[in-house]
Amino acid sequence: MALRKEEIGHIFRAYDIRGIYNKELIPEFLVEIGLAAVSYLGEDTYLTGMDVRASSPVLYEALITGLRAGGAKVIDTGTLPIGALLYGCSKMDEGYAAYITASHLPPEWNGVKFFFAGGLGIEPRDNYGLRDVFIRGEYRRASWSRIGKRLKVNLLEEYLEFLTNSFELNGIKVGLDCGNGATVLTAPYAFKEVGAKIKALNAFIDPSFSSRGPEPRPDNLHELSNLIRREKLDFGVAYDGDGDRGIFVNCEGKYMCPEEVSIVILEGLKLRGKVVATVDASMILDDYCRERGLELIRVPVGHNFVMKEVKKSEAVLGVEHSGHILVPGKLGKGRIFAADDALWASMKFAEAYSKLGRNIEELVPRKYIYRSLKVKVKEQDKGRIMELLKKSLLSKYSDIETIDGIKLYMENSWLLIRPSNTEPVIRVSVEAEREEDVISAMDKALAELKKAMKSLS
């Protein structure tokens, strides 16, 4: 039976479109999504690219067909990491970018992300507005004489030239795990060209991501950790499927959280100014920024929030606890490259490491180490639950932050309860110096959550 558009409205999420290929995301619908984009966002220029998934070329051609049928001009960059596309998008004064990807999800998934000129992802109201146009089928269609042109450009070559002109990393020894994804096309070449000595893993494209999957996690980096120790490398980084996120390990092959990575970058490059971090980021950033006299700005979880605040406050660095790290770079003509580009971030880390001239573990002493715990609780009616929780906790406690969910600060710990942006769950995070405080904070959070859920049942 043919799919009806009303049945797949859920694939339009706050910041992107994602679904399983040929189950929810079919090529015919990508043509219509292209038409919907032109009808809702505007008949303009669209910079397009795609990741290395098996279904990406088919979906890519369908999307381009829809964009051109609506009258939009398409600048086709082909297959490349998302950071390369965002490099090009950051140089645009008007128009949009569209990238076919499902980031770190399994290979049967795929999707589309739209961006404004400058590199900021479109807002939820725009993605949902695009969804409504798609479901209604009310499209602006170009006449035969106004079909949009398609121009193919080699953005990848320009992006690599930008990277290799931005760094000198002579002698640094780096382990790269490309994960069979899009950074295969860029990371080994870029590091070699600027003088680094590299050892690469999974450095061939495989649309099934058969080596370790498209999502790098602390628990699947054994091969990279062993390589670092065996070859006595300085550090290692594992990229996700489209290259917007990297996970780091130190010279001992031990996992480094994004906040530790950020401290190395800030210290090594002597970056001074404002630092942006999501509300769930570790307190080690608070400690470091306090000692260095830096202003730490907290924002809701999501790279759009980080990117917007980095640009607004002219911050020197932005970090998400999930692994996205933004280090602004200059593109000329007053333009700033502040995008989710794990290769750029990892080369900035390498630059910082080479300038420090000492073991990076010394930068994160024991006093900076905290223990944390995270739990996901399934809940369809997460909006109403969060309202009940907020009312209950605000009546009991004063030291509460509500920029994204509810964050309660206690004497030796904090707890954060927030609704997921991507799935029907409520996420609970806690952090403290001592393990017993972590357990106590989690017990408190879950007790409050269960109380709110019970009141609705």
Answer whether residue 359 shows pLDDT above 70.
no
Catalytic residues: 103
**Which residues neighbour 195 within 8 Å (Cβ) at sequence distance 6 or greater?**
168, 169, 170, 171, 172
Residue given tokens 């008949």 in the structure block? 43
Query: What fold is seen in the domain 257-368?
Result: Alpha-D-Glucose-1,6-Bisphosphate; Chain A, domain 3 (3.40.120)
365 pLDDT exceeds 80?
no
Tell me which CATH homologous superfamily contains domain 166-252: Alpha-D-Glucose-1,6-Bisphosphate, subunit A, domain 3 (3.40.120.10)
Half-sphere exposure of 340 (CA within 13 A, CB side): 27
Q: What is the C-alpha separation between 419 and 426, in angstroms, rounded?
A: 4
Predicted local distance difference test score (pLDDT) of residue 366: 52
> β-strands 96-100, 45-50: how paired?
parallel
Sign of the alpha-carbon torsion through 327, 328, 330, 335: positive
Over range 329-336, report the average pLDDT.
86
Cα distance between residue 419 and residue 382, in whole Å: 6
Check pLDDT > 80 for residue 364.
Answer: no
Model pTM score: 0.93
Q: What is the pLDDT of residue 184?
A: 99
End-to-end Cα separation, the chain, in angstroms: 36
Q: By the 8 A CB rule, do 49 and 155 touch?
A: yes
> Residue 449 — very low, low, confident or very high, per pLDDT cuts 50/70/90?
very high
Q: Which fold has domain 5-156?
A: Alpha-D-Glucose-1,6-Bisphosphate; Chain A, domain 3 (3.40.120)
Instruction: Tell me which residue of 118, 188, 170 sits closest to 346, measured CA to CA.
Output: 188
Q: What is the pLDDT of residue 164?
A: 97
* Rounded Cα–Cα distance for residues 407 and 151 (Å): 48
Q: What is the pLDDT of residue 334?
A: 79
Average pLDDT over residues 391-401: 90
**370 band by pLDDT with thresholds 50, 70 and 90:** confident
91 phi/psi in degrees, rounded to 5: -95, -5
The amino acid sitting at 216 is: P
Question: Quick one: pLDDT band at residue 368, thresholds 50, 70, 90?
Answer: low
In the chain, residues under CATH classification 3.30.310.50 are 370-456
- Please, where in the chain does CATH 3.40.120.10 lie? 5-156, 166-252, 257-368
203-226 pLDDT tens trace: 999 999 999 999 999 999 999 999
Task: Look at 4-8, 22-26, 366-370 and tell me which has the smallest mean pLDDT.
Answer: 366-370
Q: Phi/psi zone of residue 61: left (φ > 0), alpha (ψ -120 to 50 degrees), beta?
A: alpha
* Helix H or strand E segment including 385: helix 382-394
pLDDT at residue 412 tops 90: no
- Supply the pLDDT for residue 358: 64
What is the CATH superfamily name and number for domain 370-456? Answer: Alpha-D-phosphohexomutase, C-terminal domain (3.30.310.50)
DSSP 3-state assignment of 190?
Answer: helix
pLDDT tens, 89-124?
999 999 999 999 999 999 999 999 999 999 999 999
pLDDT for 172? 96
Of 53, 25, 19, 49, the closest CA to residue 209 belongs to 53
pLDDT for the residue numbered 270: 95
- Which range (147-151, 296-300, 441-445) has the least confidence? 441-445
Please work out, in degrees rounded to the nearest 5, the angle formed at the alpha carbon of residue 235 by the alpha carbons of 163 and 172: 55
Whole-number pLDDT of residue 54: 98
